[in-house]
Chain A
């Protein structure tokens, strides 16, 4: 499993992560990122890492657990 972490303080609501992986990331009504699943399978890790890297303010990290 890999762990998905977001720093809501950094998030600017650019929504790149949601467009890249809407099964893992969403925005709340204030436009701040919400992590829908904070653990993802190893098989999904590359895709979710790509989504995290698409964040312009580096608010997201995916770590192996």
Chain B
């Protein structure tokens, strides 16, 4: 009998695992089970182009029925997995059906942390296509919009709403500035100014006490007593891994499915993407990344490890995430922010493009944030995990600036 790989979760992690199984020459059956009925779609555009109406559902589709059939991937949409028996090698679906597997890949991702101030009409989270469509409809009616949480999703929603012409946008976070943890104080301040400069009212360093509903609409109450009326509220306060369906299995769960360096959670059971907690090669810790690129890398590794059991490969992730805000592309790689010391290298157009390079306490290069300067990012991404010093990387990044006509560097 042909071996069967069942993949649970049909977003980027699940789809890329299925495709990579085929690319690695796997000739067993591949089943892609997903609780959503829509064709698999990609998430980053949900806070960017799709929300703004610049891209369509077709543009963000990851796998069409034809492409799935051609690759020999069986789509099982609209079915949620509710249980797993590792020893018996089957999963259970919500309707009670059991699917047998030889190998299982858990790719159930994460869901938005729900509003602790209650759900009511006009209060949104953003994780699924349905969320994005509902938010786009409300934003189409105009403001005021209050975004609670200035992480990636909150900051992008505020930026996209301004780009869509929403007049009155407020961004609130108890941290001192947006993306404070990954950017570090100085660059986070730059990001705060970016939003203020684009007409967003910013309220940082203050938390939310509650959301009230009145005849006029919603009212967001801050801890300092200020009140912001809102037609629409977006709660962007993080995500929680979808691992509850594994509670009764023997897998080790710790804010995600704990895996070894090969992506294995148990014999013949693997996890990828936002749901997976994997050993970090340099930090000596288990890390659950919530980033697109690490999901794709994990999918490729796990597929290889299923298809080529005799030569498994360990994960060697280099943290990488991008964020688009207004007309800026912010790219982050390696270990950044926090208390690390840092230098700024001006880019080809210093007003718009620059790189901030971070050093570990011993002076070695830790990571970088680049703004509108992808060529510097490439250099930094390749250097993460090497033994290079900050000074060496500063030299090679500076060399990426185009030389002006006079021969001087700008």
Known interface pairs A29-B375, A56-B292. Does A13 touch B329 (Cβ–Cβ under 8 Å)?
Answer: yes
Our pick among A27, A29, A53, A54 for the contact of B378 (Cβ within 8 Å) is A27
Please name all residues of chain B whose beta carbon is closer than 8 Å to the beta carbon of A12 when the two chains form the complex.
322, 324, 329
Whether the Cβ atoms of B381 and A31 lie closer than 8 Å is: no
Whether the Cβ atoms of A19 and B374 lie closer than 8 Å is: no
Taken residue by residue from 9 to 22, chain A's Cβ proximity to chain B (1 for < 8 Å, 0 otherwise) reads as: 00011111011001
Please name all residues of chain B whose beta carbon is closer than 8 Å to the beta carbon of A16 when the two chains form the complex.
293, 296, 320
Query: What's the nearest-Cβ distance from chain A to residue B159, in Å?
Result: 15
Return the chain A residue nearest B372 by Cβ. A31
Return the chain A residue nearest B16 by Cβ. A53
Our pick among A15, A29, A54 for the contact of B348 (Cβ within 8 Å) is A29
Whether the Cβ atoms of A19 and B329 lie closer than 8 Å is: no
Most-contacted residue by chain B among A16, A27, A49 (CB, 10 A)? A16
Q: Is A42 an interface residue (CB 8 A)?
A: no
Most-contacted residue by chain A among B292, B320, B372, B377 (CB, 10 A)? B377
In the bound assembly, the distance between CA atoms of A49 and B97 in angstroms comes to 36
Whether the Cβ atoms of B23 and A15 lie closer than 8 Å is: no
Please name all residues of chain B whose beta carbon is closer than 8 Å to the beta carbon of A54 when the two chains form the complex.
293, 296-297
Bin the interface of chain B by size: 20 to 34
Query: What's the nearest-Cβ distance from chain A to residue B227, in Å?
Result: 38
In the bound assembly, the distance between CA atoms of A19 and B333 in angstroms comes to 12
Most-contacted residue by chain A among B292, B296, B320, B374 (CB, 10 A)? B374
Our pick among B19, B324, B377, B402 for the contact of A15 (Cβ within 8 Å) is B377
B residues with CB within 8 A of A: 16, 19-20, 23, 42, 44, 292-293, 296-297, 300, 320, 322, 324, 329, 331, 348, 372-375, 377-378, 381-382, 402
A residues with CB within 8 A of B: 12-16, 18-19, 22, 27, 29, 31, 46, 49-50, 53-54, 56
13 pairs, A vs B, C-beta closer than 8 Å: A14-B329, A14-B331, A14-B374, A18-B378, A19-B320, A19-B381, A27-B374, A29-B402, A50-B20, A53-B19, A53-B296, A54-B296, A54-B297
Q: A14-B331, A31-B373, A50-B20 are in contact. List 13 more A-B contacts (CB 8 A).
A: A13-B374, A14-B322, A15-B374, A15-B377, A19-B378, A29-B348, A31-B372, A31-B375, A50-B23, A53-B16, A53-B19, A54-B296, A56-B44
